[in-house]
Chains A and B, each alone.
Chain A
Amino acid sequence: NAGVTQTPKFRVLKTGQSMTLLCAQDMNHEYMYWYRQDPGMGLRLIHYSVGEGTTAKGEVPDGYNVSRLKKQNFLLGLESAAPSQTSVYFCASSRPVEPRRFGPGTRLLVL
């Protein structure tokens, strides 16, 4: 099993550009999550999904959109990137009540 994978690993954007981060899991987990990690901070939840076709807002959802069209994939979109969105993004998945399995992270730099 590959576990949780994230694409791309690193990306540089200019302010105003858009992009999509892809998260994939092969563990048949119902729940998937997107977090961001900033220096000196723990991980903060952006959006999450408890099943295919469902999404919900987390702690810091502004400026991001998500979609869960397939159970194994969870996409995070930035429609108009801002320097404040420079961060490391982590995807995670889990079954209900079980601990999350995290992906390796995506470094995003917005200039």
Chain B
Amino acid sequence: AQTVTQSQPEMSVQEAETVTLSCTYDTSESDYYLFWYKQPPSRQMILVIRQEAYKQQNATENRFSVNFQKAAKSFSLKISDSQLGDAAMYFCALRGGSEKLVFGKGTKLTVNP
């Protein structure tokens, strides 16, 4: 079975500062993908970043980057230069060989001006 755990129900950050959201996962598969999705108040699920497990290099998308520690089964998201528009629920997700995408319970990020 695949599981995803987000241990921080809520986080807050000052505008322009950096924040890191934690995610740990468990899977018995060797080939898998990890994702971070953002869900703003509009409820739309938006893909932020993805990481293929076979790639050692951490994925980066503009102000968003990940710290992928495969041995520790850890996949944290770093948001640099936080903006008010970054305020949202963030979900970590794991997909193995099947088409089932497993989500964590989410972290609510508040950005303070």
Contacts and interface: CB of A to CB of B under 8 A. Distances in A.
A59 B100 contact: yes
Interface string A19-52: 0000000000001010000001111110010100
B55 interface: no
Contacts, number: 44
Interface residues on B, range: 20 to 34
A74 interface: no
A45 B101 contact: yes
Contacts of B42: 104
B103 interface: yes
Contacts of A33: 99, 101
Interface of B is mostly: strand
The 3 closest A-B pairs by CB, nearest first: A42-B103, A102-B45, A105-B43
Interface of A: 31, 33, 40-45, 48, 50, 58-59, 88, 90, 92, 97, 99-100, 102, 104-105
29 contacts: A33-B101, A40-B106, A41-B106, A42-B4, A42-B91, A42-B93, A42-B103, A42-B104, A42-B106, A43-B45, A43-B101, A43-B103, A45-B100, A45-B101, A48-B99, A58-B100, A59-B100, A90-B45, A92-B45, A97-B33, A99-B47, A99-B50, A100-B47, A100-B101, A102-B44, A102-B45, A104-B43, A104-B44, A105-B44
Interface of B: 4, 33, 35, 42-47, 50, 91, 93, 99-106
